[in-house]
Structure 1
Amino acid sequence: MWVDRADWNCCGEPFRIGSQVTWELRRDIDVRWLMEALGSDTAVSVDAFQYHHGDTDVASEQTSGTVARIRAVHWRSAPQTGTVPGSGVLTELNEADRGAPDRGDLTFEGFLVTLKQ
């Protein structure tokens, strides 16, 4: 599941591995932009994204589970295309609390989170 930095920094609550969470998820995610930065093997595992800003025209589902894995996602941005292909880096974390710092020229973009239901 994808947790976007902008949405998370605005409205997210800290969580850690082992936390019980209930999140609104949307399943209509297009992972092509993740494929560009992280490759298809990682991107195809993303089946939803956390959604805080209610759009009544789009279906979301309340999902509860236990946080099993947290990875910070960083990539290099390009002025023309938005993302430098293949520049994505994943960092394992034990907790998430208002994002992660940028890593040199790699910008923090969000989290990949695994929930066990």
Structure 2
Amino acid sequence: MGKNVLIVDDAAFMRMMIKDILGKNGYNVVGEAENGAIAVQKFEELNPDLVIMDITMPEMDGIDAVREIRSKDSNANIIMCSAMGQQAMVIESIQAGAKDFIVKPFQADRVIEAVNKVIG
């Protein structure tokens, strides 16, 4: 059985791209969220094996959402997404509890490599 993934990004086309990459590689996308606040709710509802989380989003950013999710489930597997040149945010997200990060624009093999490394 494929692992369940929650995708969090405020851009619908980014969620669609990730969903497509994961689907082709045997993962189930069980939910999507467009900001960190919804991500926290969906995480509790769906209990996914992995969350792929954008950093910059309205309402609640990815770093706060990681802290919130990790406070509820210290074993939560989260991979952060960031645009080029956000190294400080990437470091902060790893400190907040993310297990890996992928840089936009996505390369399918890098996405799958990160996912396999975290929940393979």
Q: TM-score with structure 1 length normalisation?
A: 0.28
- Which of the two has greater strand per residue? 1
Q: TM-score with structure 2 length normalisation?
A: 0.28
State the structure with bigger RCO (CA 8 A, min sep 6), 1 or 2: 1
Asked which structure has the greater CA Rg, the reply is 1
- Which of the two has greater helix per residue? 2
